[in-house]
Amino acid sequence: MNTVEQQDAIVVDCLQYSKPTRERFLEWKNGDVGCVHVTLSVWETARETLSVIGRWNDLFAENSDLVALARTTADIHEIVRSGRTAVIFGFQNTTAFDDDIRLVKVFSDLGVRIAQLTYNTQNSIAAGCWEDDDSGLSTHVGRQFVREFNEVGMLIDLSHCSEKTSLQTIDFSSDPVAVTHANPLEFVGRDVELNRRPKSSEVLRALAARGGVVGLSPYVRMLKNGLKTTEREFVEMISWTVDLVGVDHVAIGTDFYTGYGVEAVKWWRMGRWGRESPVPIDEQAPVVEWPAWFQSPTAFPSLIVAMQQAGFSRTELDKILGGNWLRLFAEVFDGE
């Protein structure tokens, strides 16, 4: 994004979940990342999520030279024009709504624009990708919440949801939906971890057919060759997915995170609901490792070069790197 011709293109990373600090915001600047979807809640309740928003408000005040909250695509463009990174608030679960349908609008009014229906396990709304018995979108609570998300203009995220939840929600939602951070199962070639997050080709085709977008991720547990996966192989996955669903429906959601200890891993794996983690936790191992070519979001310019070398056109790059998310955001957030 260094040339004059490219100045209007915006890199959008449609999920990062690092512990937010100025260091991370500087990485966004150095990586020329225009917009990042961040996670406020996985298992946090409504009350706890209000405090998370409070901490973000402080961060915005303390780092107003680097970041600002975006509620609309117009906000994103304005923040990027000012040389800063636009932050989109999202939830990776519906826990923060406390099973209160009216909290969808309340949190929307606080800036939350994206909500994943569930995080791995089943809740009142939907089945997650860890359930052996996949009930999909629930008959009453799930369907009423989807209607509410559509009404309020909150983008539905299916990344950690089950196969049936994904297919039923794509079908039931009047707005297109997102898989903000999951790779194609058929390409990665295996059910990479218990979380079973990679998405079937059936889900990805249905998502695209209804106007949705999938964000691909360098998260090692969803890569074909794990930590050894090369940047070139990652770009091959992008090409493969574009061939599957079309260039208007493939984008980036790195799932990048750093800054946490093992307590955070326990929180993600089992919230407060578990005494044992369904995925064994190695207390001595690093919380997460990233491929050599994606040690942080500062790696975006290198990834863009790799995509150019692989033959992606300027138009294709603009769509995949940010344009597809911006088109989907406009449709859902702004009702365009």
List contacts with a second copy (CB under 8 A). Answer: 43, 45, 95, 98-102, 121-124, 127, 130-136, 138-142, 144-145, 147-148, 164, 270-276, 278
Which residues, 6 or more positions from 135, have their beta carbon under 8 angstroms from its beta carbon? 122, 127, 164
**Nearest residue (CB) to a second copy, 206 versus 216:** 206
Minimum CB distance to a second copy smaller for 144 or for 313: 144
H-type helices in the chain, by residue range?
A: 22-30, 46-62, 73-81, 103-109, 141-152, 163-172, 185-188, 201-209, 231-245, 262-270, 300-309, 314-318, 324-332
Where does 75-144 show beta strands of DSSP type E? 85-91, 112-116
Can you tell me the distance from the alpha carbon of 271 to that of 242, in angstroms, rounded to the nearest whole number?
Answer: 35
Q: 97 or 290: whose CB is closer to a second copy?
A: 97
> Nearest approach, Cβ of 67 to a second copy (angstroms)?
31
Backbone angles phi, psi at 39, to 5 degrees: -100, 125
Nearer to a second copy, 276 or 283 (CB): 276
Report, in Å, the least distance between residue 182 CB and a second copy.
20
Q: Residue 209 CB, nearest distance to a second copy (Å)? A: 23
Question: What is the largest distance, in Å, between two alpha-carbon atoms of the chain?
Answer: 55
For a second copy, which is the closer residue by CB, 272 or 286? 272
Q: How far is the CB of 272 from a second copy (least distance, A)?
A: 4
Task: Report in angstroms how near the CB of residue 220 gets to a second copy at its nearest.
Answer: 23
- Quote the least distance from Cβ 192 to a second copy, whole Å: 18
Specify whether the CB–CB gap between 225 and 303 falls below 8 A.
no
SS3 218: coil
Instruction: Please check whether residue 180 is in contact with residue 195, taking contact to mean a CB–CB distance below 8 angstroms.
Output: no
> Looking at beta carbons only, is 74 or 101 nearer to a second copy?
101
In whole angstroms, the minimum distance from the beta carbon of 94 to a second copy comes to 10
User: Cα(313)–Cα(318) distance, rounded to whole angstroms?
Assistant: 9
Cβ proximity to a second copy, 189 vs 274, nearer residue = 274
Give the residue carrying structure tokens 């790799």: 306
Burial class (CB in 10 A: 0-12, 13-18, 19+), 3: exposed
Contact (Cβ atoms closer than 8 angstroms) between residue 205 and residue 170: no
- CA–CA dist 197, 216 (Å, integer): 12
User: Whose Cβ is closer to a second copy: residue 43's or residue 293's?
Assistant: 43
Closer to a second copy by CB, 270 or 320: give it: 270
Q: How far are the Cα atoms of 210, 229, 246, 293 from residue 305, in angstroms, in the given order? A: 31, 17, 21, 12
Give min distance, CB of 108 to a second copy, in A: 15
Q: Yes or no: say if 103 and 46 are a contact pair by the CB < 8 Å rule.
A: yes
Shortest Å, Cβ 118 to a second copy: 9
